[in-house]
Structure 1
């Protein structure tokens, strides 16, 4: 089934509806309901998993020459971010303080479009459609795996919208493409006191500032400059009034690293830094690492199939490489710990646009990407099934 103008219009409509009603991780109820309705119109069976997620299955009607029942999974993430939208779009978020600021609305719409292209089952094997919750927070992919989302799956593919590249451009790479992500919380327990008598207190704000500034030297002075890494403190809370020394401060941040040895080095260096500040100040400082994400490492064979499908769709000159690994985290990595997989990037840059980057209130993408992403998802499933089922020419 080709991607007709009617189907493309439907994919765009789906994207805009999802964008208008964004939902946070594990709260994607209306998004899940929309997906189920669309699948029901195509008579595609499904089951719920991971709270709001959906696993749908399309059985191929053809028989492979090897009679192997190969199974390919395609994944789209569903959740939005706790960001106030400032795009001014006609279909802007109607949920205050929540926005699709990372393209997941497009991912869901493209996978539903691919479902339309695949639902007749004119291929050998099976295609599993995974609509996954909680990529932004909660490691939804890990929960999908725990609840059997990858049962009997041989290989998995997915894509992410990327506004650094023009529509119709793909990046496909084997090996590491997204970093290790290790979120942390630091709790400083000092001693409160009067602002005019600091010698009677242990100032948690000063200690927090000390930690923030010294963390910036962990990468610049302890990590090989050729290895990508960053330590960021994104949130700091302390104090209640201007004339009192704060007793407690809380810092929340993340370590991103593109090499296992870099990751281990930064974690150990942060622990040493905190111990040193604690010994110097007599404060009590706790460091807690939250559930992190492994790195996204694309399987060589899966990446080859992904590239072949992209080249078939848009031509060799439009398929490039990411070059350096991204320091962004992606829970697609949990799938790759179970089966071979490949995550690609779909170009979606708006020409001449000055809108904000991903995870900003002004983020948007060129909807032309929906054409290419929808077709690629369906095509890579077919080509991977052909390969695994022994139907390659």
Structure 2
């Protein structure tokens, strides 16, 4: 285990986090954020690698002696939320806010980069730093993967701040830690009429109401009690006047699951319920699925290593309750091994709240943890490769 102390850069990381917080940018619009990250990295002599990205930054440290590659990821985008924190460094852009703590993630991993650069000569491989755009749209990870950012990477590591965990606590688990997050839009087509003569039409509102009620039975009757799923209808729109039965009703919402087989079962049953109810009321319906990221499923091997690293740093390791929120880090774990952790930040509000804030004392702790984990991972991979080569030679 490599022990990195980040106390000497705490003030710098706080300044970086606050600058990012004051200048939030939405998904695919992170141009100023990208320029700032490039500036901080190049100022420290860290090489930025061109992957043809309009927003987002990829940098590398190490590789001076060959060896494996591990990646550490931070997301950089903000949300379309009006800030209500009252902080002295609150957002200067109306209607935009770092209400999910991506400013914390970015500043922490810049800290990781600074720590690793100090000991670059000792690295037994390469640490690739992924400053990813558009996580809130669940598009950024796929964009980085398509650019080649994961080529040669043996393991990838990431985090999300966790307001309900104290500073100095880290949530680590093998298996699912965040949910698959799919959206749906259902259009119900009927036939309009005067509200006084409903028999002359086919009421899509009544049909939609029965659909919404019937959809709630999927989780209780089609999903095992040992599994979990959430089906939430969050919006319903129909009609133009109080005395007219409309031609169409539209409702949408979200599906959250942790297991792929549950995800597919619920989606299949969802389509069956919608079409069956539509047929029963002599209407028609179309379901449009908005494909979100799959569940974030950690590799036990790297969860174990992350726990070893965290314990050695004196962090309190807890087994977290998986979050039903979505996270496009899942796409990286479809491509290679890795682990995603929850980092305690002792906030008073949950993610996406206009008063969201966190304890900046967690910044150097997170920077130190990921620097140590990257070094430990490179050492572990190098050892495994060496052992594998020896075993191969013995077999021959």
TM over 0.5: yes
Equivalent in the alignment of 2:372: 379
Distance 1:207 1:22, change over 3 A: farther
- Describe the superposition over 1:297-327 as per-residue Cα deviations: whole angstroms up to 9, x where unpaired: 1112221221111111124xx11111x4332
Q: Map 1:99-114; keep pairs closer than 5 Å.
A: 99-114=97-112
Say whether 1:312 aligns with 2:312.
yes
Identify which of 55, 58, 62 aligns with 2:58: 55
Structure 1 runs of 4+ with >6 Å offset: none
Q: For the Cα contact (< 8 Å) 1:25–1:138, is it kept in 2? A: no
Q: For the Cα contact (< 8 Å) 1:60–1:124, is it kept in 2? A: yes
Equivalent in the alignment of 1:333: 330
Q: How many Å apart are 1:17 and its aligned residue?
A: 1.8
Equivalent in the alignment of 1:3: 6
Equivalent in the alignment of 1:26: 28
Q: For the Cα contact (< 8 Å) 1:114–1:374, is it kept in 2? A: yes
Distance 1:57 1:36, change over 3 A: same
- Describe the superposition over 1:53-73 as per-residue Cα deviations: whole angstroms up to 9, x where unpaired: 211111244x4xxxx611110
Task: Report the Cα distance in structure 2 between the residues aligned to 1:140 and 1:272, rounded to whole angstroms.
Answer: 33
Equivalent in the alignment of 1:200: 200
Say whether 1:286 aligns with 2:289.
no
SS at match of 2:161: strand
Distance 1:235 1:173, change over 3 A: same
Equivalent in the alignment of 2:216: 216
Identify which of 45, 60, 65 aligns with 2:47: 45
Cα root mean square deviation, aligned? 2.1
Q: TM-score, normalised by structure 1?
A: 0.90
> What is the count of residue pairs matched by the alignment?
379
Task: Report the Cα distance in structure 1 between the residues aligned to 2:41 and 2:100, rounded to whole angstroms.
Answer: 24
Q: For the Cα contact (< 8 Å) 1:49–1:55, is it kept in 2? A: no
Q: How many Å apart are 1:48 and its aligned residue?
A: 4.7
Give the gaps of 5 or more residues in structure 2.
Answer: 387-396
Task: Report the Cα distance in structure 2 between the residues aligned to 1:240 and 1:18, rounded to whole angstroms.
Answer: 44
- Describe the superposition over 1:97-148 as per-residue Cα deviations: whole angstroms up to 9, x where unpaired: 2222211111111111111111231322111000111111142111211110
Give the gaps of 5 or more residues in structure 1.
Answer: none
Task: Report the Cα distance in structure 2 between the residues aligned to 1:95 and 1:198, rounded to whole angstroms.
Answer: 50
Distance 1:339 1:257, change over 3 A: same
Q: How many Å apart are 1:218 and its aligned residue?
A: 1.5
- Describe the superposition over 1:149-207 as per-residue Cα deviations: whole angstroms up to 9, x where unpaired: 10111111111101121110011111222222222221222233434333333333333
Q: TM-score, normalised by structure 2?
A: 0.89
Say whether 1:342 aligns with 2:339.
yes
